[in-house]
């Protein structure tokens, strides 16, 4: 399907600079632009590509001031990145939705199945599971006993949902994720061996959550591990037992959260952040990549980094000193030599 610059601008409530009849039928990165495609420019680091791109239409911020002539038609909007994301969502929604139940799937007679479903090959739905309307279960998904899945949720290939777990509506769980595996609970006995502590709780995932590929969310020892509404978890994240992640919190890849830690709403964690167990993280806390958190962070909207992590401003000043340590060490050595010469 072709879209004109005028139509795109109307949808995004923007303005056209150039040919309003210019048409596109695909998308591309601005540095790899091709005729007939749509690109966007939001990060100033990529501005150099806009002057040579072959893209037919480029979405830019309304305050963008080109330094040279641009051959592409521009669509000016308030926020280019958000506008491009809105177009991608529209493009995604225009794709045909999968439907139908494969004859090679296994659905227990006691399972409750909604309408307008997609159930792929070799997917297993166990006893007393409840699957809502519009749910899509791709091939080789496992849904355990008493599991509840809300309407319009998508589970991609190979997702495993253990018994008794609950997943809300409009969630997306990507391939290989495991929901409700046992928490890491072991107790040493008198023979200095470790005995497993049974994990009899569950996982509750609220609405509009997205969980990346190969991420694991462990079931609680007792009670529930809870992922609140709107949380976004990247690939390869580990959420321990009895953890609670607050609304609209986001985590980048390879984060690890130890058991019983409570994370507030609207937090942002960079990649490879690690949190010790039984901590409390306040609302709005931002943690830089590769930081290690060993104590609770109770100040809302604080920005921290490092291992152990502390205030970002102090961390940056410490790093400035750390980078100069070789020079400072040499200066100190030279100073000691001079002092020794003077004292002799």
Q: Are 146 and 131 in contact (CB under 8 A)?
A: no
Instruction: Give backbone dihedrals phi and psi of 157, rounded to 5 degrees, phi first.
Output: -55, 135
The closest alpha carbon to 161, from 140, 182, 147, belongs to 147
Q: Are 56 and 25 in contact (CB under 8 A)?
A: no
What single-letter DSSP state applies at residue 327?
H
100, with CB counted inside 10 A (0-12, 13-18, 19+), is exposed
Tell whether omega for the bond before 253 is within 30 degrees of 0, i.e. cis.
no
**Alpha-carbon distance 98 to 135, whole Å?**
10
Beta strand pairing call for 224-227 and 268-269 = unpaired
Q: Which of 21, 174, 241, 278 is catalytic?
A: 241
Please list, in sequence order, all residues whose beta carbon lies within 8 angstroms of the beta carbon of residue 277, skipping any fewer than 6 positions away: 240, 258, 259, 260, 261
Is 241 an active-site residue? yes
Q: Write out the catalytic residue numbers.
A: 241
């Amino acid at each position: 399907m072709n879209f004109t610059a005028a139509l795109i601008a109307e949808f995004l409530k923007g303005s056209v600079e150039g040919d309003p009849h210019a048409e596109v039928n695909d998308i591309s990165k601005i540095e790899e632009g091709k005729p007939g495609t749509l690109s966007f420019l939001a990060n100033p680091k990529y501005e150099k590509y806009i002057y040579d791109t072959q893209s037919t239409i480029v979405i830019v911020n309304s305050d963008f001031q080109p330094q040279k002539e641009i051959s592409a038609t521009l669509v000016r909007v308030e926020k280019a990145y958000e506008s491009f994301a809105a177009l991608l969502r529209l493009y995604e929604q225009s794709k045909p939705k999968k439907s139908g139940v494969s004859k090679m799937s296994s659905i227990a007679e006691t399972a409750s199945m909604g309408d307008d479903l997609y159930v792929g090959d070799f997917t297993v739905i166990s006893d007393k599971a409840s699957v809502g309307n519009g749910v899509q279960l791709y091939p080789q998904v496992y849904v355990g006993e008493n599991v509840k899945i809300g309407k319009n949720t998508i589970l991609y290939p190979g997702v495993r949902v253990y018994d008794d777990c609950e997943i809300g509506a409009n969630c997306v769980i990507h391939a290989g994720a495991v929901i409700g595996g046992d928490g890491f609970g072991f107790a040493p006995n008198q023979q200095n061996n470790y005995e497993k502590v049974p994990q009899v709780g569950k996982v509750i995932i609220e609405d509009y959550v997205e969980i990346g590929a190969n991420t694991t969310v462990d079931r609680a020892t007792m009670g529930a591990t809870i992922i609140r509404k709107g949380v976004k978890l990247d690939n390869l994240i580990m959420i321990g037992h009895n953890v609670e992640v607050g609304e609209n919190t986001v985590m980048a890849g390879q984060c690890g959260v130890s058991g019983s830690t409570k994370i507030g709403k609207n937090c942002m964690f960079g990649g490879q952040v690690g949190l010790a167990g039984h901590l409390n993280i306040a609302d709005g806390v931002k943690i830089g990549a590769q930081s290690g958190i060993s104590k609770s962070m109770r100040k809302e909207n604080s920005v921290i980094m490092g291992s152990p992590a502390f205030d970002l401003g102090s961390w940056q000043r410490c790093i400035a000193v750390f980078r100069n340590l070789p020079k400072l060490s040499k200066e100190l050595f030279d100073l000691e030599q001079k002092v020794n010469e003077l004292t002799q």
